[in-house]
Chains A and B, each alone.
Chain A
Amino acid sequence: MRYGFAIDQRTCIGCHACTVACKTEHEVPVGQFRTWVKYVDSGVFPNTTRDFGVMRCNHCTDAPCVKICPTKALFIRPDGIVDFDNSRCIGCKSCMQACPYDAIYIDKNTNTAAKCNFCAHRIDAGYEPACVVVCPTHSIWVGDLSDPNSGIARLVNTNPVAVRSPEQNTGPNVFYLGADRAVLDPLAAPVDGTYIYSSPDAQRAALAAHQPRDPVSGARTTLNTPHPRPWGWRVVTYLWTKGLGAGALLVAALAVLLDVDLGVLGTLVAPSIALVGTAVTGVLLVVDLKRPERFWYILAKPNPRSWLFLGSLALGAFGAVSTAWLIAGIARHSGHLHSPRVFDALAAAAIPAAIAAAGYTAFLFGQAEGRDLWQSPLLFWHLIVQATMVGTGALAIAAPAVDLDGDARQLLARTLVLATAAHVLMLLLEYLGRHASKQAAAAARLITHGPYARVFWSTAIGLTAVAAATASPSWNGDPIALPLLAGLAVQIALLAYESVFIRAGQDVPLS
């Protein structure tokens, strides 16, 4: 059994009956939609036309939203419907990042994720979804795609059909008949200066200037719905605090392994930064939940495949190692601990924990399949480099206040210079190289040539390069003030970059 939709755009009249019937069936808040109708106008008078596209959840066979959901609030039923249980949802919005179709929103009444669920409550009682019932031209078809004799299977198998974003390999189960390419491809028709009887949201309107129009059809979107970025400053900051904490302890552990004595920097400052960074990270993550009181569901009702869950474990483990390290450090300085071997053991634990804490986000972002920019194979390594950069930078800021030997100063300065330079190189590689998909390229272009270009070139690249250059004269450890300046600069530069990275990644339209 595999339920699916076939939407016949050859007979769809763009009337919005499906939209409104759905909204009344589910009492969807104003401004949010489980299904909606997109309009695209193409051509030059008198050879002009308008095409419609009914947008909604694709009930993917390989549903990314289900994979990323940390609490199994989203799930695939045996009949193929991608359903959700809002009593499990913590409002993390990761499903919105995973969905390549703009299909999910956080319901303003419940603060939980919602989307088309095929009217599963009606299906269970033997009734068609509300949108199917209302459609004046019977352009929405529903049925079992796995039964070759079903009406929908015959329809889909005997007519040319298309799906949205096939390159995402999600196995969409919404098939379009007679849909124009410009309607299905979210990048093919930038929004027009205004909509035909509504107005584009600011995000789409701003992007239109950076999206090229099709030179042949001139296709422009003349009606659509807004899909604001689910993640904002909290996630930007989280990337920094997490990197800061992980990086600081990573360098301290490295020092232990290299037998470089960072003194109090290694025993107290680094684990403190790690702990505070992790704690702030945790707070940011919880505060970013739309249902923060349900944060514990991640552990109580976990989806072991979700990197939100696995990441929580990583952060927890890292927090535990950091705590142990700090306790050991305090014990050492208060004279209760004498053996340095403890730090060898802690370092052995801290390195994988820090790498996991810093790097797991690459896998989480990998599960955010709607954001192609975040799918880079470099991301994991890049996050480690970033963490090293800001973690070392933080230690370098503290360094002048403590008494460090030459090796320690050298280690800090060299790590900072190398990590900073590597970060710049990786950015250049990432953004000047080829992108795996059109969507990733579009997002990258927003960063390099679009609204984020100034911040990206001046701060993310420029300031980081300046930081590397500033710290490099201290390659051998002195003067200690230069790494301090560089350490400050990289914090700002990384925050600037993450803000660009997070925003641009979510800017490219998916519908």
Chain B
Amino acid sequence: MTIAPDKDLQARPSGSGALPGERTHEHLRNFPPVEDWDHHVEYDAKAHPRKVPHEYMLVPTTCFNCESACGLLAYVDKSDLSIKKVEGNPAHPGSRGRNCAKGPATINQINDPERILHPLKRVGERGGGQWQQVSWDDALDDIAGRIRKAFVEGRHEEVAYHVGRPGEDGFAERILQAWNCDGHNSHTQVCSSGARLGQALWGGYDRPSPDHANAKVILLFSSHLETGHYFNPHAQRIMEGKQGGAKIIVVDPRLSNTASHADLWISPWPGSEAAILLAVASHLLRTRRIDEPYLRRWFNWEVYLANLHPDAPRTFEAFLDALEADYAPYTFAFAAAEAQVPVEQIETMAQLIANCDHRLAAHIWRSAAAGNLGGWQVARSMWFVLALTGSIGTVGGTAPNGWNKFIPHGPDVPAHDHWNLLTWPAEYPLSCNEMSILLPHFLREGRGRMEVYFSRVFNPIWTYPDGFTWMRAMTDPDLMGCHVALTPTWSETAEFADYVLPVGHSTERHDTHSYETHSSRWLGFRQPVRRVAMEKLGIPFTDTRDTNPGEVWEENEFWFELSWRIDPDGSMGIRRHVESPYAPGAKMTVDDFYRWIFENRVPGLPTKATEEGLTPLAYMRKYGVFEVANGLYRQDERALTEAELDGAVPDERGVLRKPTTPDSVPPLIGEAGAVGLVHDDGTVTAGWLTPSRKLEVYSETMRDWGWPEHATPGYIRSHVARDQIALEAGDLVLVPTFRLPTLIHTRSGNAKYLNEISNTHPLWVNTVDAARHGLATGDLVRLTTTIGYFVPRVWVTESIRPGVCALSHHMGRWRLHDTEGSRWVQGLVDITHPDGPDSFLLRYRGGIAPFSSTDPDSERIWWTDPGVHQNLAFAVQPDPWSGQQCWLQKVRLEKAHPDDRYGDVHVDTAASMRMYREWLTKTRATVGPGGARRPEFLMRPVKPRRRAYYANPEGGP
């Protein structure tokens, strides 16, 4: 067992008012005291040992790399307003002043000599690499004019905002609401749809929020010690849990850094994870190592019995017997056979979990749930185990994210009543969220067109499966009227845009955000740090462009301005939503906007600010974060407030509902009007966000939307299950999604200190498979998918299970022209059509090489490998339930052909469309009760009024 060095030394606050991440060890502080942040003096590191002082203003902001949103503290040199470096923000309760490598590397992104500093407009054909610098004014007028025309002509569905990782909560949604437009399109399908559906079916909430620090058993279907939501905050707490004696179980076919810290590493055949979990559940039921009072109170067990065992007595005991019998087939032996692992490993896992003492902290977000057909059942099975052990919402257990997340919205905007069938098509009524991966296929199929399409810090040509089909749609002027890329850095997608508009990095923009890093609820504030410093120093500016490099803007001001220009006279009802709440008729400023939010929407903040003699906005500018609440456990038992109870009447199942109309707007998650639950024992609680306000062990939603066979947690054999893979014929399963601790998608390409650490892209192949194929490290191989092939280089290793190969995410970056791109990471390519217009071949013309710039380090690039852009060769494989792109690939491995070159990617886009149609046939286009397009309680980023849920507007319940 690991002995904690000295727990009291872990974080010894320096005083009663200490910040969460502030500590003093033996006279050494980790951060300057907050009182000094406006005038902190630090010695020059490079002049040392001579004492050369510099005076800095320390301005908090938030990292914009991964979704963890860790706090940062920017050191703004007061002599020239340059940003010296970026450290952590000790005031942040999630990250507590600590960061991963990507936090401090932000300074590289700020100083990247290849940044886009001015708005650019395409000249010539899309992708032709010719750009003309334009003014923001001209760009805004053109874009606003197009949007206005579309709205005036009722073509609302032709305007879309497609967002990669948002890194903010609620701002863009509000703007789209103001536009009365159902144009929100997120990246969820390449990310977390599977995990979301599996979790939402239980309680409405779609993410776990494990309390790792207090856990007894930590179960990870993920690699949170190195990546993911929420890498740094979770890694801190997983290690605290470990030091406190927790056992760590990691389920991953690959030896991740996380797996290397596991007490039990199970390396299963991909897709078998739900079987493993159900075997654990079965063991718990069989041995009755379950929390019966919890299940009796919170499972909708009567519904389970009524639907599956109508003849059984309606008693909880009968339910348990039925449940045990129903899951009896999930034996250890069954799971071990599915997972191709020793049965002892499953037993050990079950025993560890059985002894978790209500303290099982578990997490899944992407991994198996994002890899497999039916992967959502992995998340669902995980929550089954959490529920059985009584670990939901307990100290050391796992809460739903909603308890630990807080989204304050700007001034109210009425909901829209549109339903965009390009993002919410009839075939996927349960999708979580928009069917964004199919957009180009829908467009090419004639389901619609885009007049104005915003790709916002988003790179679908690179990140999404079947990028060549994206390229085809994006270059077709009939399908795409105007593509606006809002991005801080060049991307493969931006190369095909009509406008490339530079937006800021983490130190150059305003946002608020909140994530479930632990049993707390905090609100983070990202801010343009030079702007904040200039304001404090009394240096005048007009907007954030004046404070950022070049003409780099922040998005908040951009959207305010664009909205204003769409509706300059206010006749469309848009302008009023971007008017200042403090100066009627005047345009909203970022100060107005956040002042209003912080004054009106954040409980406790005004009081806290007053205590410090600050306005709420000044408080947030000073600390960059506010903790709304902490120690949040068992919120399902939360008593309802008077306001919540007012007018609420229990229905026949005890669900407290307020009256609604077709114009009622459901909350982000949950049904309009529903507020809580009256239990059989008469107690009244907030409960869950499902229609029953309980944990739905039987999902009537699944039944009602045409999938009764999946109404309960189950195991769906993956498209890459063992019996689908003919090893002897050369098949392997490819894991193409694993991340490195140092990179983040295509966002970090301009961070030299990250690139120099992570710069090759080997295909992990187990020695057993390598021997069968006659491969050695360094050999080129061709991996053939359903739509094409690509050519990576092999690493023969013991760190992955046999039968599975893996190629990391992040790499395989390319650019078409020397005039644009990020030469730190992107190799020059040619894209040709060797077998006609449907065929695409991407081939490198050159690797990564040193180049001249204002940064002498660009001459010192020693790495050469741009990687292999594997995602291009993946067909869209949307899970028919969640819509999740099923990332795992069945590949045929062979030695590279004589004409193959490293990095080649060949795709037949006709096959892409065939595969799209093939996967579409797996769906059942159904409607729910009353003709509902989608269950109302499921999350939808911009929820319309209830009437929009019904194809027949007069319908509805």
List the A side residues contacting B793 at CB < 8 Å: 194
Determine whether B912 belongs to the interface, using a CB cutoff of 8 Å to chain A: no
Determine whether B405 belongs to the interface, using a CB cutoff of 8 Å to chain A: no
Return the chain B residue nearest A134 by Cβ. Answer: B99
Say yes or no: B43 contacts A128, CB within 8 Å: no
Return the chain B residue nearest A8 by Cβ. Answer: B5
Selected contact of B48 from candidates A44, A120, A132, A134, CB within 8 Å? A120
Determine whether A83 belongs to the interface, using a CB cutoff of 8 Å to chain B: yes
Say yes or no: A134 contacts B799, CB within 8 Å: no
Say yes or no: B105 contacts A132, CB within 8 Å: no
Say yes or no: B85 contacts A25, CB within 8 Å: yes
List the A side residues contacting B740 at CB < 8 Å: 197
List the A side residues contacting B761 at CB < 8 Å: 197
Chain A proximity mask over B1-30: 1 for CB below 8 Å, otherwise 0: 011011001100000000000000111111
Among the 9-residue stretches A13-21, A166-174, A484-492, A498-506, the one with 4 or more Cβ atoms under 8 Å from chain B is A13-21
Determine whether B808 belongs to the interface, using a CB cutoff of 8 Å to chain A: yes
Say yes or no: A51 contacts B260, CB within 8 Å: yes
Among the 9-residue stretches A141-149, A267-275, A348-356, A359-367, the one with 4 or more Cβ atoms under 8 Å from chain B is A141-149
Docked Cα-Cα span, A11 to B226, in Å, equals: 12
Say yes or no: A29 contacts B856, CB within 8 Å: yes
Docked Cα-Cα span, A48 to B267, in Å, equals: 11
Determine whether B236 belongs to the interface, using a CB cutoff of 8 Å to chain A: yes
Please judge, given known A-B contacts A16-B101, A16-B742, A193-B778, whether A121 and B225 are in contact too, CB under 8 Å. no
Please judge, given known A-B contacts A13-B235, A30-B756, whether A45 and B801 are in contact too, CB under 8 Å. yes
Determine whether A125 belongs to the interface, using a CB cutoff of 8 Å to chain B: yes
Please judge, given known A-B contacts A117-B48, A197-B808, A199-B865, whether A130 and B101 are in contact too, CB under 8 Å. no
Say yes or no: A121 contacts B43, CB within 8 Å: yes
List the A side residues contacting B88 at CB < 8 Å: 133-134
Docked Cα-Cα span, A307 to B378, in Å, equals: 67
Determine whether B583 belongs to the interface, using a CB cutoff of 8 Å to chain A: no
List the A side residues contacting B105 at CB < 8 Å: 20, 24
List the B side residues contacting A17 at CB < 8 Å: 98-101, 103-104, 232
Selected contact of A13 from candidates B2, B28, B741, B752, CB within 8 Å? B741
List the A side residues contacting B539 at CB < 8 Å: none
Determine whether B757 belongs to the interface, using a CB cutoff of 8 Å to chain A: yes
Docked Cα-Cα span, A150 to B27, in Å, equals: 10
Selected contact of A132 from candidates B30, B239, B757, CB within 8 Å? B30
* Chain B, 754-768, CB within 8 A of any chain A CB: 754, 756-762, 766-768
Selected contact of A143 from candidates B25, B103, B265, B797, CB within 8 Å? B25
* Chain B, 26-46, CB within 8 A of any chain A CB: 26-32, 41-46
* Residues of B within 8 A of A (CB-CB), count: 92
Return the chain A residue nearest B97 by Cβ. Answer: A133
* Chain A, 397-452, CB within 8 A of any chain B CB: none
How far in angstroms is the closest Cβ of chain B from A179? Answer: 13
Determine whether B483 belongs to the interface, using a CB cutoff of 8 Å to chain A: no
How far in angstroms is the closest Cβ of chain B from A298? Answer: 20
Docked Cα-Cα span, A125 to B752, in Å, equals: 29
How far in angstroms is the closest Cβ of chain B from A409? Answer: 56
Determine whether A124 belongs to the interface, using a CB cutoff of 8 Å to chain B: yes
Determine whether A334 belongs to the interface, using a CB cutoff of 8 Å to chain B: no
How far in angstroms is the closest Cβ of chain B from A122? Answer: 8
Please judge, given known A-B contacts A24-B85, A127-B30, A133-B87, whether A41 and B101 are in contact too, CB under 8 Å. no
Docked Cα-Cα span, A17 to B108, in Å, equals: 14
For A126, A134, A136, the residue with the greatest tally of chain B CB atoms inside 10 Å of its CB is A136
Determine whether B887 belongs to the interface, using a CB cutoff of 8 Å to chain A: no
Say yes or no: B29 contacts A24, CB within 8 Å: no
Return the chain B residue nearest A119 by Cβ. Answer: B45
Say yes or no: B2 contacts A199, CB within 8 Å: no
Return the chain A residue nearest B44 by Cβ. Answer: A121
How far in angstroms is the closest Cβ of chain B from A157? Answer: 11
Docked Cα-Cα span, A120 to B29, in Å, equals: 14
For B29, B46, B97, the residue with the greatest tally of chain A CB atoms inside 10 Å of its CB is B46
Chain B proximity mask over A1-27: 1 for CB below 8 Å, otherwise 0: 000001010110111110111011111
Selected contact of B860 from candidates A15, A31, A147, CB within 8 Å? A31
How far in angstroms is the closest Cβ of chain A from B780? Answer: 13
Return the chain A residue nearest B796 by Cβ. Answer: A193
* Chain B, 234-261, CB within 8 A of any chain A CB: 235-236, 239, 242-243, 255, 257-258, 260-261
List the A side residues contacting B46 at CB < 8 Å: 26-27
Say yes or no: B756 contacts A199, CB within 8 Å: no
Say yes or no: A193 contacts B777, CB within 8 Å: yes
Say yes or no: B236 contacts A136, CB within 8 Å: yes
Determine whether B753 belongs to the interface, using a CB cutoff of 8 Å to chain A: yes
How far in angstroms is the closest Cβ of chain A from B102? Answer: 8
Selected contact of B760 from candidates A6, A8, A197, CB within 8 Å? A197
How far in angstroms is the closest Cβ of chain A from B675? Answer: 39
Please judge, given known A-B contacts A17-B99, A46-B801, A128-B29, whether A120 and B236 are in contact too, CB under 8 Å. no
Selected contact of A23 from candidates B6, B30, B51, B753, CB within 8 Å? B753
Docked Cα-Cα span, A193 to B103, in Å, equals: 31
Docked Cα-Cα span, A25 to B267, in Å, equals: 39
List the A side residues contacting B707 at CB < 8 Å: none
Return the chain A residue nearest B50 by Cβ. Answer: A87
Say yes or no: A14 contacts B741, CB within 8 Å: yes
Say yes or no: A49 contacts B45, CB within 8 Å: no
Return the chain A residue nearest B266 by Cβ. Answer: A46
Please judge, given known A-B contacts A48-B799, A136-B99, whether A24 and B86 are in contact too, CB under 8 Å. yes
Return the chain B residue nearest A25 by Cβ. Answer: B45
How far in angstroms is the closest Cβ of chain B from A48? Answer: 5
Docked Cα-Cα span, A154 to B26, in Å, equals: 12
Docked Cα-Cα span, A177 to B236, in Å, equals: 18
Say yes or no: B257 contacts A123, CB within 8 Å: no
Please judge, given known A-B contacts A26-B45, A41-B797, A120-B48, whether A128 and B28 are in contact too, CB under 8 Å. yes
Selected contact of B30 from candidates A123, A128, A137, A141, CB within 8 Å? A128
Determine whether B802 belongs to the interface, using a CB cutoff of 8 Å to chain A: yes
Determine whether A109 belongs to the interface, using a CB cutoff of 8 Å to chain B: yes
Return the chain A residue nearest B752 by Cβ. Answer: A30
List the B side residues contacting A264 at CB < 8 Å: none
* Chain A, 84-111, CB within 8 A of any chain B CB: 85, 87, 108-109
Selected contact of A198 from candidates B6, B260, B267, B760, CB within 8 Å? B760
Chain B proximity mask over A293-331: 1 for CB below 8 Å, otherwise 0: 000000000000000000000000000000000000000
For B2, B101, B242, B860, the residue with the greatest tally of chain A CB atoms inside 10 Å of its CB is B101
Return the chain B residue nearest A83 by Cβ. Answer: B49
Selected contact of B5 from candidates A121, A132, A151, CB within 8 Å? A151
List the B side residues contacting A108 at CB < 8 Å: 856, 860
Determine whether B857 belongs to the interface, using a CB cutoff of 8 Å to chain A: yes
Return the chain A residue nearest B755 by Cβ. Answer: A30
Return the chain A residue nearest B28 by Cβ. Answer: A128
Docked Cα-Cα span, A8 to B6, in Å, equals: 12
Docked Cα-Cα span, A144 to B26, in Å, equals: 8
Say yes or no: A19 contacts B86, CB within 8 Å: no
Say yes or no: B762 contacts A194, CB within 8 Å: yes
Docked Cα-Cα span, A24 to B9, in Å, equals: 27
For A31, A41, A48, the residue with the greatest tally of chain B CB atoms inside 10 Å of its CB is A48
Selected contact of A41 from candidates B104, B239, B778, B799, CB within 8 Å? B799
Selected contact of A45 from candidates B6, B48, B98, B766, CB within 8 Å? B766
Docked Cα-Cα span, A21 to B753, in Å, equals: 10
22 contacts between A and B (CB under 8 A): A11-B243, A14-B226, A20-B742, A41-B255, A45-B798, A48-B255, A49-B260, A83-B48, A126-B27, A133-B30, A133-B31, A133-B88, A134-B98, A138-B236, A155-B6, A192-B777, A193-B795, A193-B796, A194-B762, A196-B762, A196-B799, A222-B799
The 7 A-B pairs of least Cβ separation, nearest first, read A193-B777, A50-B260, A30-B857, A121-B43, A20-B101, A121-B48, A16-B101
| Residues of B that sit less than 8 Å from A by CB | 2-3, 5-6, 9-10, 25-32, 41-46, 48-51, 85-88, 97-105, 107-108, 225-226, 231-232, 235-236, 239, 242-243, 255, 257-258, 260-261, 265, 267, 341, 740-742, 752-754, 756-762, 766-768, 776-778, 793, 795-802, 808, 856-857, 860-863, 865
5 additional A-B pairs beyond A41-B798, A128-B30, beta carbons within 8 Å, are A31-B756, A45-B798, A45-B801, A136-B99, A151-B26
